[in-house]
Each structure stands twice: as structure tokens, then as C-alpha cells.
Amino acid sequence: MSGVGVLVILLLISSIPAIAVFIWFRLAHYPFSLPRFSFALLTGAASFFPALFLQNFLAAGSKMVHITDKWRLIVEIFIRIALTEELSRFIMLIILFLVIRRLSIIKQIEEPAPGTVISDLSMASTTGLVAGFGFAIIESAVFGVSNPHNILLRIFTSAPLHGACGFRVGSAIAMSRKSPIQAFFRFFSAVAIHGAYNFMLEIPGLFPSIFAVLIALFALTSCILTIHTDMKNPT
């Protein structure tokens, strides 16, 4: 199979979680419109590129700074990868929220039916979840082409991981004005979960990989349960 064919398959497989969540929203009549879903997905995909720039920038800078072997892996996983990706997602989501707030046409399209309004926190968190899926679609395709040996594990766990982390980043943005300390810890939790997942994958053996899968799935499950609760108790 050609490289283009493999890339298309990777994109389709990594899109399954996003499609499944969109269908779930429609069946549950969750007031999360198609325009917002599409913009969130594209925002998440776009956030891959600032993250890549930051990672390359830090990689170049790390060559000029002495880091002991003991700390090199920690810095690589938690700072250069996890922090940069969550920070990039944070910045791009803020831009998206500002655009949505200012473009009246989007507000009109998104006007929900009476009695189905959800809180700003829920909307921001869910937007972050979808953005995480968008990031995972691009990352899975790029990673799959460049690192085919570990593609199956990555492609099936990347979306749950980034979706869960994106959910926490979105909620951190919504909390930032009224509860900045809580917002910081919510963002920190996204970085910690992301870093723990990557750290487990760096350890050889079956059990660390299983732990990585469990980290991603449990993190996503908590987000799904939160959204499910909001569906039953709209504001």
C-alpha cells in the first residue's frame, strides 16, 4: 500500500472517537452545534503545529543547557512534550473562544433550544475535549508515518489521552477568571496525565504499556461521565 493510502487509513481510524462523540451528542440532543464541533476539531488540529514549533525550539535550546541523564527523560516527557502540547492547546482554545464570542453569526447558528442551555464551564470543557480529538487525528497520522512500529498502541490511545487533556485545558480556561488557582491545577492535571502516559510508554515491557492505556481510558471516562451528568442536568 502506498504512503498516501496508509496516511488516509490512519486519519480515518484516528477520527473514529470524534465521530462517535458527535453521534452521541446528536442522539442525546446535547446543545453542541455542528459549527462549534467543527471549529473545535480544526482548532485542535491546528494546535499541533505551534506545539511542534515549541518542541523544536526547546530541543535546540536544551543542547546549550547541561541536563544530567537523570533528569533528561523527565524534562523531555513532561516539559518538551506534555507541557508544550497542552500550552499550545490552551492558547488555540483561547483564540477560538474569543472568535466565537465576537462573531455574531456563529452565536446565531449556535442558539440552542429553550431549556437546553449548558454552563460556560461545560461548554468550554466539551470544546476542549473535541479539540483534543482534533490534535490526536493529526498527531496519529504524523506519528504513524514516522514511527510505524508502535502505531497501533498510539493510534488507539492518542485520542482518549488528548481528548481527556483537552477537556481539562478547556475547563481551566473557563475557570481562569473566577478561580485562577483551581484553573492552574486543572491545567497542571492535564500536563501530569499527559506526561504520565508518555512516561509509561518509554518503559520497555507489556505492563507499562497497559498502564499507559489505562491512564488514557480512565482519564477520558471521567470526562465522559461529567458530560453525561451535564446532559441530565442542563442549566
pLDDT at residue 33 tops 80:
yes
Query: 74: pLDDT confidence band, cut at 50, 70 and 90?
Result: confident
Q: Is residue 28 part of a domain?
A: no
- Is 15 contained in some domain? no
So what's the pLDDT on residue 109? 45
Mean pLDDT rounded to a whole number for the chain: 86
Is the pLDDT at 62 greater than 80? The verdict is: no
Note whether residue 23 is domain-resident.
Answer: no
Tell me the average pLDDT across 25-47. 94
Length of the chain: 235
> How would you label 147-174 residue by residue, b for 16+ Cβ within 10 Å and e otherwise?
eeeebeebbbbbbbbbbbbbbbbbbbbb
Q: Is the pLDDT of residue 54 over 80?
A: yes
HEC sequence for the chain: CCHHHHHHHHHHHHCHHHHHHHHHHHHCCCCCCHHHHHHHHHHHHHCHHHHHHHHHHHHHHHCCCCCCHHHHHHHHHHHHHHHHHHHHHHHHHHHHHHHHHHCHHHHHHCCCCCCCCCCHHHHHHHHHHHHHHHHHHHHHHHHHHHCHHHHHHHHHHHHHHHHHHHHHHHHHHHHCCCCHHHHHHHHHHHHHHHHHHHHHHHCCCHHHHHHHHHHHHHHHHHHHHHHHHHHHCCC
Give the number of other Cβ atoms within 10 Å of residue 43's Cβ: 24
Q: Is the pLDDT assigned to residue 24 strictly greater than 50?
A: yes
Give me the pLDDT at residue 137, please.
Answer: 92
Q: What whole-number distance in Å separates Cα of residue 63 and Cα of residue 67?
A: 9
pLDDT of 69 over the 70 cut: no
Q: Give the whole-number percent of the chain exceeding pLDDT 90.
A: 58
Residue 9 pLDDT class (50, 70, 90 cuts)? confident
Average pLDDT of the segment spanning 145-165? 79
Of 207 and 148, the one with more pLDDT? 207
| Mean pLDDT for the stretch of residues 203-222 | 92
Q: What is the pLDDT of residue 117?
A: 63
- Is residue 93 in a domain? yes
Q: Determine the average pLDDT of the residues in 14-37.
A: 92
For residue 143, give its domain range: 3-9+33-232
pLDDT per residue as tens digits for the range 80-115:
999 999 999 999 999 999 998 887 544 544 545 444
Residue 17 lies in a domain: no
Examine residue 27 and state whether it is found in any structural domain, yes or no.
Answer: no
Whether 181 maps to a domain, the answer reads yes
Give 16's contacts (C-beta < 8 A, 6+ positions apart): 159
pLDDT of 140 reads 85
CB 173 within 8 A of CB 92: no
Residue 212 lies in a domain: yes
Q: What is the tally of structural domains in the chain?
A: 1
Q: Which residue shows C-alpha cell 492535564?
A: 190
Cβ-proximal residues to 113 (8 Å cutoff; 6+ apart), any chain: 31
Confidence of residue 190 (pLDDT cuts 50, 70, 90): very high
